[in-house]
């Protein structure tokens, strides 16, 4: 059994849904050493999320942003945690919806994603800053 782990610091992204598959693969080359295993990605933040979805059409990511903002608006009048700005509490709730970790199979040294699948960083803050991912790959 092989086990690799490292922390990847992503650059600051604007609010929205961003494809980060290439950044994960290019910055964690140890994936290539695993024939059959798993990559676990953990996002060390409470105001951003991770998901897997469409990797080709950018309008899908824009629709995600529009829908989640309609579902969880910053103008919700009953939030009491408002000290960090109007985008903070909605960001925490959005993170709870999307989650902050993913598990992806590794096959023959590559992520075993579907043809149209990519890893999204879901940035829910207006100025979220750099985001840290803990990447753990294991297998044989």
Q: What pLDDT digit, counting tens, does each position of 16-47 carry?
A: 999 999 999 999 999 999 999 999 999 999 99
The domains located in the chain, with CATH, are 2-139 (2.60.120.460)
Report pTM: 0.96
What percent of the chain clears pLDDT 90, i.e. is strictly above it?
Answer: 100
- Helical ranges in the chain per DSSP H: 21-27, 58-71, 88-98
Q: Residue 133 — very low, low, confident or very high, per pLDDT cuts 50/70/90?
A: very high
Say if residues 96 and 130 touch (Cβ distance below 8 Å). Answer: no
Cα 121 vs. chain centroid, distance in angstroms?
3
């Amino acid at each position: 059994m092989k086990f690799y782990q490292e922390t990847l610091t992503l650059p600051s992204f604007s609010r929205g849904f961003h494809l980060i598959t290439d950044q994960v693969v290019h910055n964690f080359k140890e994936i290539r050493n695993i024939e059959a295993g798993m990559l676990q990605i953990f996002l060390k933040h409470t105001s951003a999320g991770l998901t897997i979805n469409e990797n080709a059409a950018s309008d899908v990511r824009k629709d995600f942003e529009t829908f989640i903002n309609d579902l969880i608006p910053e103008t919700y009048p009953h939030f009491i945690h408002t000290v960090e700005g109007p985008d903070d509490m909605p960001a925490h709730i959005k993170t709870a919806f999307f989650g902050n970790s993913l598990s992806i199979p590794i096959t023959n040294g590559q992520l075993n994603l579907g043809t149209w699948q990519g890893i999204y960083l879901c940035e829910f803050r207006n100025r979220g800053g750099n985001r840290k991912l803990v990447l753990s790959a294991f297998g044989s």
